[in-house]
Amino acid sequence: GSLGGPRDLFALPSARRPPLAPHWPIECEVIKEPIQHIEWVPPEPEPFCQPTGHEWPPATLSEEQGTIVYHLSPVPPGSCFTRARVGGAPGPLSSPAAPLEGPQDTTLLFESRFESGNLQKAVKVGPYEYVLRLRPDLYTAKHTQWFYFRVQNTRKDPLYRFTIANLAKPTSLYSEGMRPLLYSQRDAQSRGVGWRRVGTHVRYYRGGGEEPAAFRLSWTVRFPHDGDTCFFAHSYPYTYTDLQRYLGGLAGDPACSRYCAVRALCRSLAGNTVYLLTITSPAGAAAKRVVVLSARAHPGESVGSWAMRGFLDFLLSAHPDARLLRRLFVFKVVPMLNPDGVVVGNSRCSLAGRDPNRAYGTALRGSFPGVWHLRAMVERVLAEREVVLYCDFHGHSRKNNVFMYGCDGGRAGAGLRLLQRVFPLMLSKNAPDKFSFPSCKFKVQKSKAGTGRVVMWRMGISNSYTMEVAFGGSTLGRRNSHFTLADLKSLGYHLCDTLLDFCDPHPAKLQQCLSEVDMLLRQRLGREPGSGWSDVSTSELESSTSGSDSSVSD
């Protein structure tokens, strides 16, 4: 029969059937068993560990002298994406893990051929010690940061040491007390305990003089049980299947369907659906202003998905503030902009082998469909309505807390330049134990010209931000502890709260924040009250803070 409307081309998530299986590039092998984790919040804060400095850990055998116990055949870096299918590579699976020699063999069994998994190789260099290598982003030779893999055949008593040998970034929150995450299947099943921070002697340091991407992360850990199945990860995973399961739940909620429409924005290169949610109450849509939110341009920044999850949980709830927000605004939300990258366990790129958040200015529809269609959608919206806020959710690997990058091009009048700083200041007041206003930056750098934040700002959205969420945690309000899933989700709620403050018809809060920003900037410049500062460049405004951070993230 003939195809119906576009809705038939894209099967949308439904509560009645399991999530659609993701499409994988044909180079990727995928194991059949589904991987799913429970959500859990530790009852006590998880403090940062005492940093052990940058010194080398005790000497270990080199990789050359060790035994390879897991090795996936690499995708040649010069190759590029050709095609994808459900289940990835056709034919029987290879056996990348070395087989055990019997019950007395204590070698760990490694696996990463599942959604968002990333491990290329494991070398056993001691009875309980392994050197690991991550797979670079597909079709590139770099961007190693995200890791997520499974180990089986654990033993409870020994102290194990893991060293990831090919990380790309010269600095990391692992140098400042951040610890990796461990998940024990047995603890999840028997005690309801999920992902937790583990590791002593966590060190991040420059490796030997081999390839350029030679920074190392090393940690020691004891496993909670003998013969357990455990996972390690850089941050709480949130996969494409997790998103589809969540959207299926929304589809099964009749109340929710009245004010939340789930559509396909487009298909990714691999043929995975990029979803667009439109959330607003049916009444009075004509004059409503629009809020545009997105997450997971960078697939390794899973913290962005948890913040987005918290945002959607609140906005779709029966809370009076959520009702008010749906009455006041139309929300256009793209919860996972780069599903292919998320599926294959990339850190930064899509299957085009490039960073989608540098492609907004020049994006070709064929190379970056998600970015191209999001931008086109915003252009259509701007032709009819005001967009009051654009915010893209990211993760940050070198600074703790949550902060924003905004856009002050230095050419607007002082009033507008102040106003662009108000939303982040309000957010810092609503989440004082997580959000750092002094860490926010508003400079528009040439190297960031292709980011969503800068391009949307040039299109006319003056409140255009990247929200950066640390992979580590908070150093604010007497906290010195890692972010939990509850912390990450609460950011979504705080964003809602701040939107109501920012758009409050009684301008008292706005006025107070405007004068506070004005005072803060004057203090920074050493200027008198009443003297203008609209002539001051953004570089000067920010030069008194740590300028060396300006080259990071987004």
End-to-end CA distance of the chain: 46
Q: Which residues of 268-284 are buried (b: 16+ CB within 10 A; e: fewer)?
A: bbbebbbbbbebbbeee
CA distance linking residue 356 with residue 350, whole number of Å: 7
- 408: DSSP letter: E
CA distance linking residue 338 with residue 262, whole number of Å: 17
Q: What is the pLDDT of residue 3?
A: 30
Look up residue 548 and give its amino acid: S
Q: What is the pLDDT of residue 55?
A: 54
Q: What is the pLDDT of residue 210?
A: 61
Q: Cβ distance 370 to 338 under 8 Å?
A: yes
Q: Write down how long the chain is.
A: 554
Q: What is the pLDDT of residue 542?
A: 77
Nearest 5°: the CA angle 45, 47, 52 is 170
Pairing of strands 129-133, 121-126: antiparallel
Percentages helix, strand, coil for the chain (3-state, rounded to 5) are 30, 25, 50
- 118: DSSP letter: B
Name the nearest CA neighbour of 407 among 447, 454, 359: 454
Residue 101 designated active-site: no
Distance of CA 521 to the CA centre of its chain: 31
What global pTM score does this model have?
0.94
In order of start, what are the domains of the chain with their CATH numbers?
A: 65-79+93-233 (2.60.40.3120), 240-525 (3.40.630.10)
Helices 320-328 and 485-502 sit at what angle, rounded to 10 degrees?
Answer: 50
Say which of 29, 115, 129, 468 is annotated catalytic.
468
Q: Cβ distance 486 to 46 under 8 Å?
A: no
Residue 538 phi/psi, 5-degree rounding, is -60, -35
DSSP string, 35-104: --------SS--BPPPP--SPPPSP---GGGSEEEEEPPPPPTT-----EEETBS-SS----BPPP-STT
SS3 per-residue string spanning 203-255? EEEECCCCCCCCEEEEEEECCCCCCCCEEEECCCCCCHHHHHHHHHHHHCCHH
Q: What is the pLDDT of residue 7?
A: 43
Q: Which residues of the chain have pLDDT under 70?
A: 1-10, 51-61, 209-213, 285, 363, 528-534, 543-552
